[in-house]
Each structure stands twice: as C-alpha cells, then as structure tokens.
Amino acid sequence: MTRRTEWPGSEDETHSAAGDAETRSGRRGRHGREDSGGPSSSRAESGPPRTPEEQARAICLRLLTGNPRTRKQLEDALRQRGIPEEAAEEVLSRFEDVGLIDDAAFADAWVESRHHGRGLARRALARELRTKGVGSAVIEVAVGRLDSEQEESTARELVDRKLRASRGLDREKRLRRLAGMLARKGYPEGLALRVVKQALEEEGEDPDLLEEHCLPDA
C-alpha cells in the first residue's frame, strides 16, 4: 500500500484561487459600501445574483480546499445551505467527472491513514467510512486491501506499546485491559485474545492460567 494518496491538484488549485479571488472581491465591495457608499457599492448592488450552480460550485471548492471529502459529505453540505437538489446533482456529478470527488480514493487514503496512524482494524475502519457516506462496495474494496497478516501485526505492535504500563496489574486485569484496547479499535475478539496471550506468555505468564480468563465485551 502507498503511504500517501495524491488528490487532483492543478484544477482544484485553479478553481480555489478563483474562488478566493471572488471572495476577496466581495469583501472589498462590502467594505466599500460601509466605508464610502461610493461607486463600488453601486456596482456590487447592480451585479446579477449567482445561480444555484455557481453557489454550489463555490461551496464545494471551499470545502475541498485542504481536505478531500466524499460525495455524500458535499451533498449534505449543499442541502444544509439550501442549494436545490437539481443544481447540487449537476455540480457534484461534474466534480466526479473531473476527479475532484473520488470516494474510492478517499476510502483508500482513509484506511491507510487511520490504520497506520491509529491502529484501527478493518471493522472500525469500515464503520468510520460508513459515517462518511462511502458506499458498501467501495468500503469492501478499501478495507480488503488491509490483509489479516497486516492487521495482526499492527495488533501486536499496539499490545507491545502498552505492556510496560500494565506490568503492575495482576494477570487477569492485564489480559482484560490489553484485549479491551484492541476490541475498541475494531479487532475481532479471537484475534485480540490470541495476540495478548502470546505477548504475556513471552513475558513469562503461565499459558494455562491465561486460558482461564475470557475476553471482555467489546
């Protein structure tokens, strides 16, 4: 897996720059009305209102500046701002056509970032992507790139980081605390229990005694 997903840049930057220039121009116009009430005010007031499509385009470009977003996130933002559905659909479809909206790329980058940055497992990653409005088929492909071997390796790394801090606890509390940490990050119960037991056995814990304890509820 690549560690960084490249998002469309040149066209986005051009559109963003145009939007920024329009915003600055609008601010100057408002300041002109407040400060002098002169010709700048008359020109601003006489200009035609922006169409819903132009408003939708400006909103999307502003939201996409800095962070990629899913189509559903942008769709919700346009609805909240009162953009008619037809105008929103037209702009969002155009943005998809030119690559400014790409839910598959978003999902791939999210899985890469959140797995390596937070140690989240496939189940937790899928849950987060659903909240972003990513479709089930796209989620399945994105999380499917994280194989079981990598997931288990990351789980062991997480446990290793917490082992020292848990050494003052008794055997059962250590097992429950470490396994619970993995469960909260979306690791299956069987995997979490196996990884924690292996780590504790390597520290000298009796494997037969560890078998007596069960994994806490996720």
> pLDDT tens digits for 97-134?
999 999 999 999 999 999 999 999 999 999 999 999 99
Question: Given this model, what pLDDT does residue 217 score?
Answer: 44
Please state, for a pLDDT cut of 90, what percent of the chain lies above it: 56
pLDDT category, 176, cuts 50, 70, 90? confident
Distance of CA 124 to the CA centre of its chain: 12
CB 61 within 8 A of CB 78: no
Residue 199 CB neighbours (<10 A): 20
Burial of 132 (C-beta count, 10 Å sphere; 0-12/13-18/19+): middle
Amino acid at 194: R
Please state, for a pLDDT cut of 70, what percent of the chain lies above it: 71
- Closest by Cα among 114, 138, 141 to 128: 114
What tokens does 144 get? 């499917």
Helix (H) or strand (E) holding 151: helix 148-163
Question: Given this model, what pLDDT does residue 211 score?
Answer: 57
Residue count (the chain): 218
pLDDT tens digit sequence for 143-162: 999 999 999 999 999 999 98
pLDDT category, 208, cuts 50, 70, 90? low
- Closest by Cα among 110, 129, 64 to 91: 64
> pTM to 2 decimals?
0.71
